[in-house]
Structure 1
Amino acid sequence: MESLSDRNILFIQGENRPEIAPLVTRLYSRLQPQKEMLFLPGARAHVMTAESLKDYNRHVANFFMSNLPLNPIPPREPR
């Protein structure tokens, strides 16, 4: 977990996966403040309502827009 302490992390939890909720909650609580939790009511791994899908898309896009550099470092040329 220490190796993740300087990174912004988005946790996504679907309501219909109660067996992994304790693990997600434990991981979330162990990380420093640069974290977000997206809880999707009624969602499963591969099935979401239209409203949940909109929320998911909006939240994930906002997370990446907020946390990625505006001027990404270009890839290095192969040697």
Structure 2
Amino acid sequence: MSDKKFKPIFESTLSEQSALLKSQLQQVQRENLKAGLYNSYRDARYKAQNILVRRYKDRREIVQIDAATGHTQTIKTIL
């Protein structure tokens, strides 16, 4: 019998939650790309909080987002 005891996710640390959800997150990201959608993430090379990377199946776009209006401007496309 396993010594592991059930621990509710909200009682877990952030790193424990991340480890639990990592495989599901990766699966959703793959499904998004397959469906022609994109995944957004921050990149440490871009210090501004309003700069994100959009990862598509065939390219990445560096985008700047205006939080007040939701307007998105593509800064750079990387093939």
Per the TM superposition, whether the score is higher than 0.5 is no
Q: TM-score range by the shorter chain?
A: under 0.3
- For normalisation by structure 2, the TM-score amounts to 0.27
- For normalisation by structure 1, the TM-score amounts to 0.27
Structure ranking higher in strand proportion: 2
